[in-house]
Amino acid sequence: MFFYGRLMHVFIVHGDLTRIACDAWLMPCGIDAKPGPHWLTDIETNPFFRWPAPPVDWSITGRRCIKLHSERQRGHNGSLRPIPWLVNVGGGRRQGIEWFVDGVRAFMDCVAQDEELQQPLHGRARPLVALPIVGTGYGGARMRAGLVVRALLPCLYECAREHGIDIALVVKDQADYAAAQRERLSYQQAGQHRWPELGRGLRARAEKLAERASAGELVVFLGSGVSRGAGLPTWGEFLRQLAEQPDQQMEIEWEELARWNYTDQARIIERGFGGRERMGEAIARCLKRRNYSLSHAFLAGLPTLETVTTNYDTLFEMASASIDKPVAVLPYEPVRPEERWILKMHGCISHPEDIVLTREDYLRYTERRRALAGIVQALLITKHMMFVGFSLDDDNFHRIADDVRKIVWANERGEPFGTSIVLDSRPFLAQMWDGEIEMVVVDESEQAGVATNTVGALAERARKLEIFLDYLLAQVADPNHLLNARFAHLLTEDEAALSDALHAFIASTTPQMRQTAAWAKIQRLLTELGWSPRR
């Protein structure tokens, strides 16, 4: 056990299990102990990788779980990777639902005894263990997916409490994800609170943001704090890593340099590289990651078209692409109508020569990127901006916001133009943006003046932010499973009647009716509700 006695959480995540930053994850396989190719990462596809032989007691009724790697692996830049565990959940159609769930229990029991998970990755407050909806891909429970979800969720809550771990149920298919969310909300409606970490005030704030997102009124602004959950460094750590790169030639007394502003530190380090190009390449090496954080997954899952960030990494783009919602990256790619996009205010590691980091870069920002600033100004005026992981102290953002003040005063609009989700209470910052940006402090004890600044306390707040985002996503209306027969078991009586009526309507349409201009719009709606013409 890791954190016995504390509240543990079960997240439901729309994403790619092989890309989620976690401590350990369940890699499904069958009796041959070999997973499908879609579960393999770059480590397992390496020609020098050798698969472990199944133990002698490996069978359908015997041992079903083995650790794939003898020790935690590292990425190309030294970053630690999640540990995959092979679990036999590939039973046939005759296997009962409980057999698949028992495989999950065996996995959780094994993980709980693994010493490598005693220290969670990336400074997380609790270990995070991830898994898919087992048996519903190529397993024998595909057409019983609703029953698997219904049996699996109680098991996950039980395992989280027993072993003292957080658990992420990671679902790639949109209908499967909607069904899992629907089942979890049914607990809430039955009076079983699944977000006890959040007080009434935080839940109300999340619900209001969910309403804005569902109405198409929300735009997301990502700061560097979102990427901490994927193992990216803080600003101070990042600059030190840059200074220690082998192609940085200047002798640097770090204690002296650390006294300077970050932008001035960057300018000195740039000289050590001999110019912008080589430093940009080093930045790309430092910030490249394969796995994105829970927060990236939650924010990518919101029904928003526009995102703004000061981050250089590509983790949000990765999270969006993994759920078939690719984003165009401004200013490097064109944007088509109704297409998602992300505006990289300070450049991107895919274009390292364009990164904004030094004082000179900031001083010349308006001159070089006036059009990008104009886009952000327009979003501040026309949408509600949700800031996550952003400290609101960036000079370029202050200039942009000040131009907006000259056009539209927040108090005249009657409500703030943005909401900032912050880990700790910052009264002076709240006063600075009073009436313009509402501050949501995730640690409610902060508001009562019980602030602590220990590493453990900050990690707990970061975890609570993830729980806040998990609740927010659960409140976003998404009936994508309504017409999917695999989840008929989860529908309420009224939902089942509506599903039957819509299926009857679909069956009554003729080929000629489906050739009309109106059918394209009707089919789009039906598809969003889980219908597929191939079924």
Same domain, 322 and 417: yes
Tokens representing residue 38 in the block: 């879609």
Q: Is the pLDDT of residue 479 over 80?
A: no
Same domain, 113 and 146: yes
Strand partners, 85: 26, 67
Same domain, 254 and 180: no
Confidence of residue 4 (pLDDT cuts 50, 70, 90): very low
CA-CA distance, 309 to 348, in Å (whole number)?
10
* 482 falls within a domain: no
The neighbour count for residue 99, using CB atoms within 10 Å, is: 20
> Are 228 and 221 contacting, i.e. CB atoms less than 8 angstroms apart?
no
What pLDDT score does 447 carry? Answer: 44
Tokens representing residue 414 in the block: 């009657």
Same domain, 162 and 277: no
Rg of the chain over Cα atoms, rounded to whole angstroms, equals 24
pTM of the model as a whole: 0.90
* Interhelix angle 174-189/145-163, nearest 10 degrees: 60
Find which of 22-26, 120-124, 490-494 is predicted with most confidence, using mean pLDDT: 22-26
Q: Is the pLDDT of residue 338 over 70?
A: yes
Same domain, 269 and 342: no
DSSP state of 25: E
* 2 falls within a domain: no
**What's 314's domain CATH number?**
3.40.50.1220
Confidence of residue 450 (pLDDT cuts 50, 70, 90): very low
Report the percentage of the chain scoring pLDDT > 70.
95
Stronger pLDDT, 254 or 59, i.e. the higher one:
59
Region 293-311 average pLDDT: 96
246-299: pLDDT as tens digits: 888 888 887 788 888 888 888 989 989 988 888 989 999 899 999 999 999 999
Convert 349-376 to b/e letters by CB count within 10 Å (16 or more is b).
beebebbbbbbebbeebeeebeebbebb
State the chain's mean pLDDT as an integer: 88
* 225 falls within a domain: yes
Of 241-245, 392-396, 463-467, the least confident:
392-396
Q: Is the pLDDT of residue 505 over 60?
A: yes
Find which of 152-161, 187-196, 490-499 is predicted with most confidence, using mean pLDDT: 152-161
| Number of H-type helices and E-type strands within the chain | 20, 13
* 442 falls within a domain: yes
Same domain, 169 and 247: no
> Are 425 and 446 contacting, i.e. CB atoms less than 8 angstroms apart?
yes
CA-CA distance, 33 to 65, in Å (whole number)?
9
* 441 falls within a domain: yes
* 202 falls within a domain: no
CA-CA distance, 34 to 40, in Å (whole number)?
10
CA-CA distance, 355 to 277, in Å (whole number)?
10
* 223 falls within a domain: yes
What pLDDT score does 410 carry? Answer: 46
Confidence of residue 2 (pLDDT cuts 50, 70, 90): low
Same domain, 225 and 260: no
Domain span including residue 26: 10-194
> Are 423 and 452 contacting, i.e. CB atoms less than 8 angstroms apart?
no
What pLDDT score does 397 carry? Answer: 86
Same domain, 119 and 77: yes
Q: How many domains does the chain have?
A: 4
Residues found in the chain:
535
Domain boundary among 287, 302, 330: 287
CA-CA distance, 208 to 262, in Å (whole number)?
36
Confidence of residue 453 (pLDDT cuts 50, 70, 90): low
Domain boundary among 265, 287, 309: 287
Same domain, 381 and 276: no
Stronger pLDDT, 309 or 94, i.e. the higher one:
309
Region 490-516 average pLDDT: 87
Same domain, 220 and 260: no
Same domain, 359 and 282: no
Find which of 91-100, 230-239, 342-351 is predicted with most confidence, using mean pLDDT: 342-351
Domain boundary among 253, 272, 287: 287
Same domain, 68 and 123: yes
180-190: pLDDT as tens digits: 998 998 887 77
* 395 falls within a domain: yes
What pLDDT score does 413 carry? Answer: 54
Residue 212 backbone dihedrals phi, psi, to 5 degrees: -65, -40
